[in-house]
């Protein structure tokens, strides 16, 4: 498998606080990686460094073969990013916002129209596309964030809590979408929802106190739990490995 994401020795310090400590990872096409960890473990900081939104104190990132340092424009073209909170321009309609994002990504004319129509259908935004973003529910705002991330059909997706704020049906739809894209793309998603790991991920990376403490398949992660544990067995693994509680949501 071809590695589309390569991060080497990523470190981030904020003053005397070392939030991320020498994280090294690779993600290949066809992998959906669940990036797990308690609050404050360094998940979001690591994802921001991988996407170039935060400069590392030390280390380097390569995306689809392009270094974020040496070829930042080419590297940034290779990924879609759903950040925490999915910020957008509140006074734009959904359609206006996606047109703006598409134009920034280099689409125009019929190609722009076709891509917007495709993602609106994929994330089920048809009935709200004329509404301004500020009037949308949290769930629909999250779907708009997903739409902008996949609009240019990137080979890499970085998604911070992609199903946050969605109702159970919407979560199911988004998980299906991630699974369908995961066969060809390199996808990293952070989540606190253990059910999500079982539903969509082909690999688990667990981070605690800024360091990777586990990297393996979901079944290997689950196997760390006592055999008698059933429904919440992954939660027990998490507690055992990080000595920190994990919120189990569905």
- DSSP state at residue 213: E
**pLDDT tens per residue, range 154-208:** 999 999 989 887 888 888 888 999 999 998 999 999 987 888 888 899 999 999 9
Cα–Cα distance, 100 to 145 (Å, whole number): 13
Quickly state the pLDDT bin for 244 (edges 50, 70, 90). very low
pLDDT at 96 over 50: yes
Within the chain, what is the greatest distance between any pair of CA atoms? 59
- Can you tell me which residue has the tokens 């994929």? 122
> Could you give the residue ranges of the DSSP H alpha helices within the chain?
43-50, 72-77, 94-104, 109-122, 138-150, 168-181, 194-200, 218-222, 233-242
- Can you tell me which residue has the tokens 């990297």? 215
- Is 247 exposed, middle or buried (CB count within 10 Å of its CB: 0-12, 13-18, 19+)? exposed
Helix (H, G, I), strand (E, B) or coil at 211: strand
Q: Are the CB atoms for 200 and 163 separated by under 8 Å?
A: no
Q: Are the CB atoms for 8 and 190 separated by under 8 Å?
A: no
**pLDDT tens per residue, range 211-230:** 999 999 988 887 764 443 44
pTM for the full predicted model: 0.87
Cα–Cα distance, 101 to 13 (Å, whole number): 32
pLDDT at 248 over 70: no
Rg (CA), the chain: 18
Q: Which helix (H) or strand (E) holds 17?
A: strand 17-28
Q: What is the pLDDT of residue 241?
A: 54
Superfamily holding 20-78+157-250: P-loop containing nucleotide triphosphate hydrolases (3.40.50.300)
């Amino acid at each position: 498998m071809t590695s589309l994401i390569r991060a080497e020795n990523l470190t981030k310090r904020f003053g005397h606080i070392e939030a991320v400590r020498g994280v090294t990872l690779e993600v290949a096409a066809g992998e959906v990686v669940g990036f797990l960890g308690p609050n404050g473990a360094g998940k979001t900081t690591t994802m921001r460094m991988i996407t170039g939104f935060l400069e590392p104190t030390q280390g380097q990132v390569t995306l689809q073969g392009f270094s974020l340092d040496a070829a930042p424009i080419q590297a940034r073209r290779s990924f879609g990013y759903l950040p925490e909170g999915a910020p957008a321009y509140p006074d734009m309609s959904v359609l206006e916002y996606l047109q703006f994002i598409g134009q920034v990504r280099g689409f125009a004319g019929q190609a722009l129209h076709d891509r917007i129509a495709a993602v609106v259908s994929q994330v089920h935004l048809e009935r709200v596309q004329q509404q301004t973003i500020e009037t949308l529910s949290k769930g629909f705002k999250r779907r708009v964030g997903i739409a902008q991330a996949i609009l240019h059909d990137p080979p890499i997706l970085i998604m911070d809590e992609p199903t946050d704020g969605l109702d159970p049906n919407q979560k199911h739809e988004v998980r299906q979408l991630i699974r369908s894209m995961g066969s060809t793309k390199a996808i990293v998603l952070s989540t606190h929802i253990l059910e999500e790991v079982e539903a969509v991920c082909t690999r688990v990376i667990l981070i605690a106190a800024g360091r990777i403490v586990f990297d393996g398949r979901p079944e290997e992660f689950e196997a760390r739990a006592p055999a008698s544990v059933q429904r919440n067995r992954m939660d027990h693994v998490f507690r055992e490995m990080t000595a920190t509680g994990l919120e189990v949501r569905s």
